[in-house]
Each structure stands twice: as C-alpha cells, then as structure tokens.
Chains A and B, each alone.
Chain A
Amino acid sequence: MGFYILSYCCIAISLAAAARLIYKQLTLPMHVRWEIYPVQHEKAQRAAYGGSYMEETDWWKTPYHTSFVNEFKYMASEILLLSGLRKENKRLWRVSFPFHLGLYFMLVSVILLFIDVVVTLWGPSAFAEGRVLRTMMGGLIVASGWFGLVAGLIGSLGLLYRRLADRDMQLYTTPADYFNVVFILVFFLCAFLTAAFVDPLFDAAKSYLLGLLTAGTYTSAYDPGQNIFGAVTIILASLLTAYIPLTHMSHMFMKYFLYHKVKWDDAPSRPGSAIESAVLQNLKYRPTWKAKHIGADGEKSWRDIASSFPKEMK
C-alpha cells in the first residue's frame, strides 16, 4: 500500500505544481507585444518567410485571422521531432531527440496501460482477455514501452555525456542540471532492467496500474515488493512525475506560454476589444520605481506618469 500512497502523493504534487504554474500564467497582466517572426499562425505563404499581417496596406481594416492548421503543422513537428533544435543545434539534437522520444513513449505507454486497465475493469466483451483487440493493445504496449526505454536510455546517457564533455555546456550546467539528467537516466536504467529481467511484456506494470486505480483492492494487483528493480522503478517514476513540474523541465507544457503568449502573440489591440480593456486596467497600476526621471510615488498611475514629463525637464 505504501507504494500506492507514494504514487498518489506524487501525482497529486505533479498536478498541483502544474496547475499552480498554469494558473500563475493565466492571471498575469497582459504584457506588451514582443513577438518574433516567423509567427506560425500566419497564412502559410507568409509564415514560410516570416511575414506578418502588417505587410498589408491598412491592415487594421481587415479582421485579425490566425491559421490553426499552419500552427498545428509547425507545432507537431516541433514537439514530436524537435525540428527547431534539429535546425539550430544538430549536435545536441542527436541526444536530445532520443531523450524526448523516450519520455514521449513512456507517456504513451502509460496512457495505453491506463486504457488497458480501464477496459479490464469496465470494458465491453470485445476487449476481453484473448480477444484480437486486447492482444493488439498488449502488442502496442510492449512496442511502445521497449522503444521508449531504449530511446530514453540512449538519450539520457547522451545528454549527460554532452553536459560533461562539451565545454560550453559544462560551464553553465549547475549541480541541479546534473541531478535532473542523472535522475532521469537512473529511472530509465531501472525501468530497462526491470523490463529486461522481470517484466518484458509489461504485465507487472499493468497490474500496478490496476492496483493504483483500485487502491490495491483488485485481486491481481502487483506487489512491487516482489522485486527490487520493480520497486525502485515505481519509486523513481512516481518521484519523477512530481519533480518535473517543479523544475525548468516544466517547459514540457509551459512551452505553450512561451510560444503562444509571447513569441507568437501578435494580436493587435482594437478599439473596444478585450485587449484594450486589459491595457486600461494595466494603466491603473501604481509603480514605485525610484529613479528621479520616473517621478513615481506609489500614488501616480502608469497613465499619469506616461502622460507627464520627466523630472529632469522641470
């Protein structure tokens, strides 16, 4: 039961930390525009060379339009293939790509396992043990799990090597960065050894998930105590789940904000728009910057200050 409690706690921490990060982003004041072109939700023709709607005469007379399809195409290749890194830093991509692929396939494996467990518990008869669909699902889990483990192991080893051997990276790598890579490497190593020597078809993983979903009450729930590698893998996987959103590795999901809320945020402010309302709110803030030319006293608003002259002039 201790393992289940650990996993529950780690999942809760992970969700809470991710929710806190996202909530904070959603409640920050609207910032000024700071986009960088190419902005991928532009029309395909323009996105190809980095053009914007501001290339049009009287652009404000045309409705602001974004292309989800163009954006999706770019994001799919960016997320799945790390195409940006591939273009700009191929040396790093060679290790970072398998590393990320390993994590993605681990995630896919967990999702597949979860589906398998749900159908075991509540699924229709077409998914019963021994039926074709169930066998196919089992095959997918094994393929995805093994692929993820091998890719992740190679990738994390490569990343660690790169951080240690590349002088430029080594100079800026902090003890926490090494810890992160080693943590993930040890996880992949333990999971690999568990799969290799104890659980090649991921049946035990399935049983653990069954137990996790039923608070250990299901009859064939897995007992991690049976095997040291299995136990360590479960502990590491749980801790890793909690740890990622607490570090810069939260870029896994925070990249959404870095791209969509900054790099590609080109929405113009139109009279009466929500953007204009947000700006009007921002102009009510009362800054306290101390330099003489600002003339802030904690009472005057941004609007007052922006429409005044600097003190040096008086």
Chain B
Amino acid sequence: MKKLLKLSDIAAASDCLCHVEPGELSPLPFPYDDFNQSVPTPLKPEKMKNVEASLDDTVAIGIPKPAGREEEEALVHQFLSGLKKLFEKENNWTFLQPLLLSMDHCARCQTCSDACPVYEMSGRQEIYRPIFRSEVLRRIYKKYLRTGGKITAKLTGDIDLNWKTIARLAELSYRCTLCRRCASVCPIGVDNGLINHEIRKLFSQEMGIAPKEIHDKGTIQHLKAGSTTGMTPAAAKDSAEFIQEEMGEITGYKVDIPWDVEGADILLLHNAGEMLAWPENVGAFAIIFQAAGLSWTMSSEAAGYDAVNYGLWYDDVQFSRVAVKHADIARRLKVKKIVIGECGHAHKALTVIADRLLTGDLNVPRESAMVILENIVMSGKLKFDPCKNDFPVTLHDPCNVVRAMGIVEPQRRILRKIAPRFREMTPHGVENYCCGGGSGFAIMSGYNFAEWRNLVSSRKKFLQILKAFENEAQDTPKYVCAPCSNCKGTIRDLISYYQAEERSRLYYGGLVELIVNALDGMKKPMIRFGEKPSWE
C-alpha cells in the first residue's frame, strides 16, 4: 500500500514525492483499455541530474538545481520576498483582494477535490488535490510572514521551508490548468485556481522562473517578433495569401483577407497558431465575414496578428504589456471594435481581465467571435444546408469562454441550426471540464510533459468525448467542435496519442469550419474526414 502523503512531506528530501504506478490512473473504456497500464515514460536520470525533478513523474519548468547551500538559501530568501509582495497593493493591486479572501477563508472541506479533473484522473494523487498547493502556500505565509507565525504554526498547520519545498511548489503550480472548476463549486467562494495563479506569478515576477514555452518563447517572443509562433509580420501576410488561395479552391470565388484597413468596423484577432496549424480556421472566418459583407481587417503590426496573451497564466506585467499592445494597435487603426477569434484565453485576457487595465482611448470595445457569428448565422443573410453536416458533432466548451466569460449559448444556437446531429457532453457549459491543455499546458512539451498531459490532465476530456459518441458506430466519422486554438491543439494531441482516429474515427476542428461546411454554394466541402489538407 502507498504511503499516505502529508502536506509537510513537500519539504522532505526524497527524489520523487509522487509516483504514479501502472493501473493507478482512472480506467479508459474499450477500445482504449490497452492504455490503462500506461504511465509517463520515466525521465532519464542523466538528463535530470542538473534539473529539479523531485515532485512527480514529469517536469514542466526544468529549474536548474542550485550550486550549493548558499544559493539555496538565497533562493528561499527571494521566494519569501516575492511572497510578501503578493500581499502588497503596490505590487499586486491586480489580485490582492481575491487573494486575501481566498487565503483567509478556506474551511478545508474538500468540496473542490471532486471537481478537479487532474486530481480525479490521476487516481486521486494527493499532490494534485486543488487544496494541496494552496495549503502549502497558506502555511508558509502564516508561519513566515505573519507576526508570531512560527509560534502559532503548531496550531494553524506547520510546514518547513527549504529549497525542496520551493522547487516542488513551483513545479506543482504547473499541474493545475487554472480551469477554476474548483472555485466554481466552493461553497464559500475560495478560489484555489487563483492561488495557483498567484504562485506562478511569484516565481515569474520575483525569481524569473517560468516554463520557457510561455515566457521566453511565449510573451517575450510575442513582443519581440510579433507572435509566440515566431511568425514575423511579413510571414503572417504570406500565410494569409496562401490561405486566400486555398479558400478560393473551396468557395470557387476569390476570398480576401484585408490588412490594416483604417476605420474598419472590426479588427479580427486570431491566435497566430491557427495560421500555421489550422489555416482553414482563418480562411473560414474570411469566407463568413466576406459573405456577410462585414467591414473588417486584420493587423500586420507585430503582436497585432496574434491574439494570444500568455501573461494571463503566469505574469501580470507581461500580461499588461501584451494587452496594451493589442489595444494600442486597435486604437491606431481606429476600428470600432476588436473581435476575438477562436482562442479561449485570448477572449478572457482582452475582454475580461484587461478591462480594468485599459483606460481612455485604449479601452476599445471588445467582443467574442461567437456573438458575431451567431448574428450572421441567425440573421438569414447567408443560406445554409445543415445536411452537409450530417455527422455526429459534440461541442467542447473552452473554460475561458464559458466559465470565465459567460458566453455559453451563441455557439450552441449556431450548432443547433447547422449541425443536425449535435449532442452535448456531460457536463457542459459553465460546468464543463477543461481540455487538459489550459493555462499553457497545450503548448508545453519539454521533457515528458506532453505525455503527462495526454495521460492525466486531458484524460477526463477524452472520456467525455468518448461518452458523447458512445452510441455511434465505430466507423462513423465524429466531429469534436473546439472553438479555441489551445483546446484544439490538446484534442489533436489526444486523438493522436490514443490513435482515436483509427479506433473511433474521431476528428476535431473549430466552429467556423462547420459553418462554412454547411454554407450553400461552396464548390468543395471544408470538412473532409480522413483527407490530409493540402497544407500538411
């Protein structure tokens, strides 16, 4: 029997705090039961000798091991300095009130645990419990920063603070997808997702510790090159030209992607990953907007053609820089509003979070593409033939669009109109489960992290998808509609990892692809199951 893990073990000098044994993860049904003994491929000791990897079976950040005791102590000191700043208005006005409320009022009732897909799917590994990392931070805070904390710690929960504690806490903050399902079920209103977000911030903003995919290759590259994909403005325009040609093949007429049109009604912001991985999504938007006769534009300015804002997941300063850049581009283009394409975190970042950051003429109105698409589809301006979408369709709800923004029905009203075999997942809407790629996981793939994501954090979504299609024949093609780039990437990886295209004929894509597929008068279908697109 496994040893019962206690909170205080986070400071213990072991090589691995939590190891998942084969068969411990939640079981998958036939024909995926051969994966039930799978666990992440063990990390190679020779590769890990200089990297902190003592939390579990994977590594998200890859923090270099300190050279000696002195350096460890300096890092502990730095951590405490950052922790103090989290509770100062000068440093953390952005989240101070929510953080204080969540730190002070948890009743440790564990209602959050059952809501967490990572905890549940991991076979209920203690370290993945939503309260585990919050309680570690809470105890450190009370013991080391509150007056008399070292005396009262025996009553309020003791914990040792050493480099192991800190290194593990940093890694642990990247085992939660920030889906905030835990927060939505807390009867008191405590938000463990928020505490996790604040832990990430502390490490980034004070200690410069963050996964390279979201910092160096993420926000830094975004501000420097223009996109987290590394795509420059010239490359973005080249991609668009290629997309126009491809869409012309589908529509039978010329499709235009307008660039830098001053005074246009709409500035459309796409996740630039779409241009590279799913150009048909960018093209489908262009087809729909053009057919509906909208006045719209894209921006070719650096950062203006990439809606992402990875700062949302780990760093308020980086977040602010990207949000200001987006708003400033819209302001200078003199557009009436920004419309955010199928990218969930970009929705929340620019519409909700940046709302209390952008002032004056930077506060350009921002709207979800779901809303404008619903308007177009329901207006009767365009003619649809739903029979073209006569295959089973289910909808994945991106957490940032539903739970964080309350945009739930527009995408459903569209699907009910154009996809006759649409069915919901259970649960759905604001009670949805994360795809498992939230908060940066979708783009993090160092060491064996992608495998951990497929096996653990995305497992619940995979089960949900299988359940939604359980009454369909194996050889019927099935479409998972995921109107978010990161969710789509995660589902793509899931399908590939579990060979679900071969075993269940499972396919995925966005919402606009379905809309265009049902559009009357198209020369070719947009969705062609099993056919490799020309750009691959």
Q: Chain A residues in contact with chain B, CB under 8 A?
A: 24-25, 28-39, 42, 46, 49-60, 78, 82, 84-85, 88-89, 92, 96, 166, 168-169, 171-177, 179, 248, 250-251, 254-255, 257-259, 261-263, 266, 268-269, 271, 275-276, 278-280, 282-283, 285-294, 296, 302, 305-310, 312-313
Is A33 in contact with B184, judged by CB distance below 8 angstroms?
A: no
Nearest chain A CB to B125 CB, angstrom units: 13
Cβ-based interface call for B58 (8 A): no
Cβ-based interface call for B49 (8 A): no
Please name all residues of chain A whose beta carbon is closer than 8 Å to the beta carbon of B109 when the two chains form the complex.
85, 89, 92, 96, 169
Please name all residues of chain A whose beta carbon is closer than 8 Å to the beta carbon of B16 when the two chains form the complex.
none
Also in contact, A306 and B317, with CB within 8 A (given A42-B406, A49-B429): yes
Nearest CB to that of A166 among chain B residues? B110
Nearest chain A CB to B88 CB, angstrom units: 8
Is B206 in contact with A55, judged by CB distance below 8 angstroms?
A: no
Also in contact, A271 and B187, with CB within 8 A (given A28-B100, A31-B96, A251-B107): no
Also in contact, A37 and B402, with CB within 8 A (given A51-B408, A177-B108, A305-B320): yes
Chain B 182-222 interface 0/1 with A at a Cβ cutoff of 8 Å (1 = within):
01110111110010000000001111100000011001100
Is B223 in contact with A58, judged by CB distance below 8 angstroms?
A: no
Chain B 349-367 interface 0/1 with A at a Cβ cutoff of 8 Å (1 = within):
0011111111110010101
Could you jot down 11 A-B contacts, CB within 8 Å? A31-B98, A34-B191, A34-B353, A36-B183, A78-B187, A92-B110, A262-B189, A278-B356, A289-B82, A306-B323, A309-B224
Is B106 in contact with A92, judged by CB distance below 8 angstroms?
A: no
Also in contact, A34 and B405, with CB within 8 A (given A59-B367, A88-B111, A258-B188): no
Distance in angstroms between the alpha carbons of A30 and B206 in the assembled complex? 22
Please name all residues of chain A whose beta carbon is closer than 8 Å to the beta carbon of B219 when the two chains form the complex.
310
Also in contact, A288 and B194, with CB within 8 A (given A168-B113, A250-B105): no
Distance in angstroms between the alpha carbons of A58 and B104 in the assembled complex? 38
Please name all residues of chain A whose beta carbon is closer than 8 Å to the beta carbon of B94 when the two chains form the complex.
31-32, 282
Is B131 in contact with A172, judged by CB distance below 8 angstroms?
A: yes
Also in contact, A290 and B317, with CB within 8 A (given A50-B402, A313-B223): no
Please name all residues of chain B whose beta carbon is closer than 8 Å to the beta carbon of A305 when the two chains form the complex.
317, 320-321
Please name all residues of chain B whose beta carbon is closer than 8 Å to the beta carbon of A310 when the two chains form the complex.
219-220, 223, 317-318, 321
Q: Chain B residues in contact with chain A, CB under 8 A?
A: 4, 6-7, 78, 81-82, 85, 89-91, 93-98, 100-102, 104-111, 113-115, 126, 131, 135, 154-157, 180, 183-185, 187-191, 194, 204-208, 215-216, 219-220, 223-224, 317-318, 320-321, 323-324, 337, 351-360, 363, 365, 367-368, 370-372, 375, 402-410, 429-430
Partner of B187, one of A59, A82, A172, A250: A82
Is B409 in contact with A51, judged by CB distance below 8 angstroms?
A: yes
Is B108 in contact with A173, judged by CB distance below 8 angstroms?
A: yes
Nearest chain A CB to B176 CB, angstrom units: 15
Distance in angstroms between the alpha carbons of A78 and B189 in the assembled complex? 12
Is B85 in contact with A46, judged by CB distance below 8 angstroms?
A: no
Instruction: Given A32-B353, A177-B108, A261-B97, output 12 extra A-B contacts at Cβ < 8 Å.
Output: A31-B94, A32-B356, A38-B406, A38-B430, A49-B430, A51-B407, A52-B406, A169-B109, A176-B155, A262-B98, A262-B101, A296-B317
Partner of B90, one of A36, A52, A255, A288: A288
Partner of B96, one of A28, A56, A96, A296: A28
Nearest chain A CB to B87 CB, angstrom units: 11
Also in contact, A271 and B363, with CB within 8 A (given A51-B406, A258-B188, A310-B318): yes
Distance in angstroms between the alpha carbons of A49 and B430 in the assembled complex? 7
Is A50 in contact with B363, judged by CB distance below 8 angstroms?
A: no
Partner of B356, one of A33, A52, A88: A33
Nearest chain A CB to B321 CB, angstrom units: 6
Also in contact, A58 and B337, with CB within 8 A (given A32-B353, A251-B107): yes
Is A254 in contact with B101, judged by CB distance below 8 angstroms?
A: yes
Partner of A288, one of B85, B104, B105, B406: B85
Nearest chain A CB to B109 CB, angstrom units: 6
Partner of A55, one of B126, B406, B429: B406
Please name all residues of chain B whose beta carbon is closer than 8 Å to the beta carbon of A175 when the two chains form the complex.
154-156
Nearest CB to that of B354 among chain A residues? A32
Is A37 in contact with B321, judged by CB distance below 8 angstroms?
A: no
Distance in angstroms between the alpha carbons of A24 and B131 in the assembled complex? 25
Is A291 in contact with B205, judged by CB distance below 8 angstroms?
A: yes
Ranked 6 nearest A-B pairs via Cβ: A52-B406, A258-B189, A50-B430, A306-B320, A37-B406, A291-B208
Please name all residues of chain A whose beta carbon is closer than 8 Å to the beta carbon of B110 when the two chains form the complex.
89, 92, 166, 168-169, 172
Is B105 in contact with A34, judged by CB distance below 8 angstroms?
A: no
Is B7 in contact with A88, judged by CB distance below 8 angstroms?
A: no
Nearest chain B CB to A312 CB, angstrom units: 5
Also in contact, A254 and B105, with CB within 8 A (given A290-B206, A313-B224): yes
